[in-house]
Structure 1
Amino acid sequence: MAQLRITEIFYSLQGESNSVGLPTVFVRLTGCPLRCGYCDTSYAFKGGEWLTLEQVLEQVAAYAPHYVTVTGGEPLAQAACLELLTALCDAGYRVSLETSGALDIARVDPRVVNVMDLKTPGSGEAEKNLFSNIEWLKPEDQVKFVICDAGDYAWACEQLRSWDLDNRCEVLFSPALGLQDATQLAEWILRDRLNVRFQIQLHKYLWGDVAGK
C-alpha cells in the first residue's frame, strides 16, 4: 500500500497560478532537494506524518473540493506522488502540481496541470533546472519565474525567448516578496510587451506568512 510523508492537508484559496482565488485543498508533501534563498515553506523540509494513499484521499474528500493542489517542498521527490496525482484525478478533482522543475515530470498523469518553476539565478538553485522538462509541457500547464531582481528578470526574458515558452503554455512572472518590488516588475512587463501573466501571492496579502493558509 502506497504511503506518503505529509506535512499538512488544508483548505484555502489558491494564492498563485491562473486558478488564483479558487477554493482549493492543498496536499503538502514533506521533503525537498532544493534550498532556494526565498523559500517560504522550509518547515516542509523535514518531519511530516506518514499516511497511506487512502488516508490522504479521505482527508481531501472531507472538504468536498473541486480543486486540489499537490505541493511541497518538492512533491516529486516522493515516488508515490505520481500515484497520488493519478488517484486524485480518478476521483474527479481538478488537480494541479506545484513543482520546482528540478525533477522529471514525464510520468506525471497528463490530466494534471503542471505549475513548474524555472529557478532564477537569484534563487541560488538555477543549476538544478531540468530543461528537458520543457518538452513535456502541455498547453494547459504553467511555467513560473520568481523574480528577485533586474538580473533575474533579464534571465527570465531570455528563457522566455529561447524556449518559446509563451507559445508552449502560460508563463507566470512573480516578484519575490521582500526582494523585488511588485510595481516595478509589473512596469517592466508592460514596457517590454511580454506575453506573460503577472502574479502576486494572494494568500500572503490576506493572511501573511502563515502555514496552512
Structure 2
Amino acid sequence: MLKVNEIFYSIQGESSLAGRPCTFIRLAGCNLRCKYCDTDYAYGNGILMSKDQVLRTVAKYDCPLVLITGGEPLMQEESFPLMDALLEHEYQVMLETNGSLAVQNVPEGVLLVMDIKCPGSGEMDKNLYTNIDYLGPADNCKFVITDRRDYEWASDVLFDYGINELCEVLMSPCHGMIEPRELAEWILKDHMPVRLQLQLHKMVWGPDVEGR
C-alpha cells in the first residue's frame, strides 16, 4: 500500500518539462525538514491506496505525463513498483526526490528531478552525493537558492562533480527569499551552464494554493 497525500492534474512547474500538463502523485512523509518547505502539509497526512487504485485515479486525468513527488517518495518502498507500473502503462514518468536517499534502483526510463540541498535549506548534511553517478542526460539536478552563499556553494558543487556534463542543472530562486532577477544576473555574469528555474505554478495560481 502507498500513503498518498493527493493526486491532482495541473501544469508541471519546476523542471525541464515545466509548462506541460501533468498528473501529480504526491506521496506522504518526508525525512527532511527544509526551512523553506512549501509542501509541509505532506509530512504525514495521507490515505492508504493500493497501486491499482492509484493507477485508476491517474487514468481519469487522461494525461501522458505523470510526476511522483512528496514529501519524499523514495521513503515508501511501494513507490518502486508504482513507477514500474506507470512505465508499463506507457506513461512518461518523472520522480522528484530530495537527494538524500539512494536512487540507483529507480527504474530505467524514469526522469529524475533530484535536489542537492544548499546551506540555506538547513539540510545540506543529508545530501547523498553518490546519487550524482546515476544522473543521465534526461535527468535534472536542482539547487534551490536562498542567497548569495547558496549560489556560490551550488556553483562549487556543480563544477566539482561535473554535474552539468551529466544532466540538465536547474537553479531555482527560493520564493520570498531572493528575487529571480538577482539570481538571473549572477547566472549571466558568471556564464553558468544552468537553467534558471522559476516555480511556474506559483506564478499562475499563487504561492499558497494546494493541489496545483
Three-state SS of the structure 2 residue aligned to 1:119 is coil
1:131 corresponds to: 129
Match of 2:64 among 55, 63, 66: 66
Give the aligned length: 211
2:140 corresponds to: 142
- Identity rate, percent: 50
1:170-209 CA deviation, whole Å, 9 max, x = no partner? Answer: 0000000011111000000000001100010011011112
Q: CA RMSD in A?
A: 0.5
For 1:1-150, what aligned pairs fall within 5 Å after superposition?
Answer: 3-150=1-148
Q: Distance in 1 between matches of 2:137 and 2:203?
A: 29
Match of 2:187 among 186, 189, 192: 189
Q: Distance in 2 between matches of 1:110 and 1:121?
A: 31
1:13-46 CA deviation, whole Å, 9 max, x = no partner? Answer: 0011011110000000000000000100000001
TM-score of the superposition, structure 1-length normalised? Answer: 0.98
2:155 corresponds to: 157
Deviation at 1:138, TM superposition (A): 1.2
1:210 corresponds to: 209
Q: Distance in 2 between matches of 1:205 and 1:186?
A: 17
Q: Distance in 2 between matches of 1:26 and 1:188?
A: 32
Q: Distance in 2 between matches of 1:141 and 1:20?
A: 13
Deviation at 1:139, TM superposition (A): 1.2
Runs of 4+ in 1 over 3 A off after TM superposition: none
Deviation at 1:148, TM superposition (A): 0.4
Q: Distance in 2 between matches of 1:110 and 1:159?
A: 25
Report the AA paired with residue 104 of structure 2. A
1:121-158 CA deviation, whole Å, 9 max, x = no partner? Answer: 00000000000000111111110000000000000000
Q: Distance in 2 between matches of 1:138 and 1:166?
A: 10
Three-state SS of the structure 2 residue aligned to 1:203 is helix
Q: Distance in 2 between matches of 1:98 and 1:6?
A: 15
Q: Distance in 2 between matches of 1:106 and 1:31?
A: 21
Report the AA paired with residue 201 of structure 1. Q
Q: Distance in 1 between matches of 2:86 and 2:22?
A: 13
Q: Distance in 2 between matches of 1:179 and 1:84?
A: 35
Report the AA paired with residue 212 of structure 1. G
TM-score of the superposition, structure 2-length normalised? Answer: 0.99
